[in-house]
Structure 1
Amino acid sequence: MTTRFAAAIAVAVAMPVAVWAVPAAAQNWNAQYAQTATGHRVGNPDADIQLIEYVSYTCPHCAQFEQESEAELRYFYVHEGQATVEVRHFIRNIVDIVAAVSAECGGADAFYDNHRMFLNSQDEWMERGRALSAAQQARWGAGDWGSRMRAIASDLDFYEMMEPRGLSRTQLDACLVDQSRAERIVAMSDANAAEFGVQGTPSFVLNGALLDGVHSWQGLREVLVATRETPPAALQ
């Protein structure tokens, strides 16, 4: 787990996918998206497993979690309707703000693909940030809000990343220069973290309880396996 951007800017052994005999799903719950009052949700809203992920886009462990968990979490638990996942932003720095605003630009249905893109390409755009000179990075804290946001997005190639996702430079600019949008994301991040006492990323809340000490797919997977083997009534 990491909580400092300075460390971030300066794959664990894969777990085998569990094989369980399950009935064929009536639908692909991965296609069921909703923007909630606290984040973005995918999956069956009535699933026995209600999972919240706290994610920072500049957290290397969050990117690792996304890559390691996708095959089983998304394409077994969520796909089969056994789990719903809500992603909540955990804002640690100005780059997190720019990435979160960009991920949310384009509507609720586009969020999860944008979200995965930022995490799966994190090594590339973080490397671009590390290659900047001190003078270049100084632009990130100079000028008005819009100038700072556009400078970060430009230096990290967010415009080029979002264009294939259907957002033109003008459309992304409209999201980035909207300071009230960013302020809402930061305020929501603070409120969401305070709700469960989340201190860093990635962190997970399962069925209303923070999983203390669980910050990886391996750790979360062990909890999910045990939860799935528990009769639903015992989870109440």
Structure 2
Amino acid sequence: MKIKSMMLKGLALLGVGTLALSASAQERPILPGGNWGSMLAETDGGHLFGNPDADRKLIEFMSYTCSHCATFARNGEGAIKVAYVPSGRISYEIRHLIRDPVDLSAALLTHCGDASKFGGNHEAIMYRFDEWMGKAAKATQAQRSRWQFGSLPARLQAIASDLDFYDIMETRGYGRAELDGCLSDEAKARAMADTSAADVKKYGLTGTPSFVLDGELLEGTHDWLSLEKHLADVF
């Protein structure tokens, strides 16, 4: 899905400026070989599954409002985590391209709580994509106005309420107050937007999902079928 024009429009709606990144990489524990499939750590731009010192490094750039990303989450992510990451030879990092306020609301919620919760949070949002995106498509003008005007926390909380993000995250064990706290983290929101814009510029990203393997953008690769061919060469 094309991102540049939608991303610029979305960031304008957010009122996001170019602030210094507030998120920093957390110290990553080293696990014995064979346990890499259970390794998850927050990086300075996303979340990394597997061996942080792997010889090969795969990055997925995704957006929560991207239908192709939702499809990949269902048929590609699991295969990567089960068939490739446990070997310790390749790591898999998920990074966000923030395109609009709905996307930002979902991204902040997936980051809510300890970094170890990200994988489950991410799946919970993506696996119910059709449900909440259907609600977004049918949103009334009054709802959309609530998403676009007022303070950033108020806008994101309105989105979370209207699209059932609160309900989805409550099945993950979160309470409303904790979720509101995550949606009110404006420093985190700006850091996400700044990192997103920097990644687009650095790698020349034009669509989601996009994949970078060992620092090189895989041109024309936006689904599991085409990505799998590149990964086959890794092993």
TM-score range, shorter chain: 0.7 to 0.9
CA contact (8 A) 1:2 1:59 kept: no
Counterpart-to-counterpart distance in 2, 1:37 and 1:150: 25
Which residue is equivalent to 2:58? 51
Which residue is equivalent to 2:112? 105
Check if 1:171 corresponds to 2:178.
Answer: yes
Pairwise CA distance, 1:194: 1.7
Amino acid at match of 2:160: A
Which residue is equivalent to 1:196? 203
Pairwise CA distance, 1:72: 2.1
Which residue is equivalent to 2:24? none
Q: Which runs of 5+ in 2 are unaligned?
A: 7-31
Counterpart-to-counterpart distance in 1, 2:231 and 2:74: 17
Amino acid at match of 2:202: E
Instruction: Work out which of the residue numbers 126, 129, 136 in structure 2 matches 1:119.
Output: 126
CA-atom RMSD in angstroms: 1.8
Q: Which has the larger radius of gyration?
A: 1
Pairwise CA distance, 1:79: 2.3
Superposed CA deviations along residues 3-56 of structure 1, whole A, max 9, x for unmatched, are: 376xxxxxxxxxxxxxxxxxxx95332211111122110111232321000010
Which residue is equivalent to 1:36? 43
Pairwise CA distance, 1:123: 0.6
Within 5 Å, which residues of 2 pair with 1:1-236? Answer: 1-3=1-3, 26-228=33-235
CA contact (8 A) 1:193 1:199 kept: yes
Q: Which moved more, 1:145-154 or 1:67-76?
A: 67-76
Counterpart-to-counterpart distance in 1, 2:168 and 2:79: 26
Runs of 4+ in structure 1 deviating by more than 6 angstroms, as ranges, are none
Counterpart-to-counterpart distance in 2, 1:155 and 1:97: 15
Secondary structure of 2:84's counterpart equals helix
Superposed CA deviations along residues 79-137 of structure 1, whole A, max 9, x for unmatched, are: 23232101110011111110111110112111111112211111111111122212222
Amino acid at match of 1:64: T
Q: Which moved more, 1:152-161 or 1:28-37?
A: 28-37
Pairwise CA distance, 1:2: 4.0
Task: Tell me the number of residue pairs that the alignment of Structure 1 and Structure 2 aligns.
Answer: 210
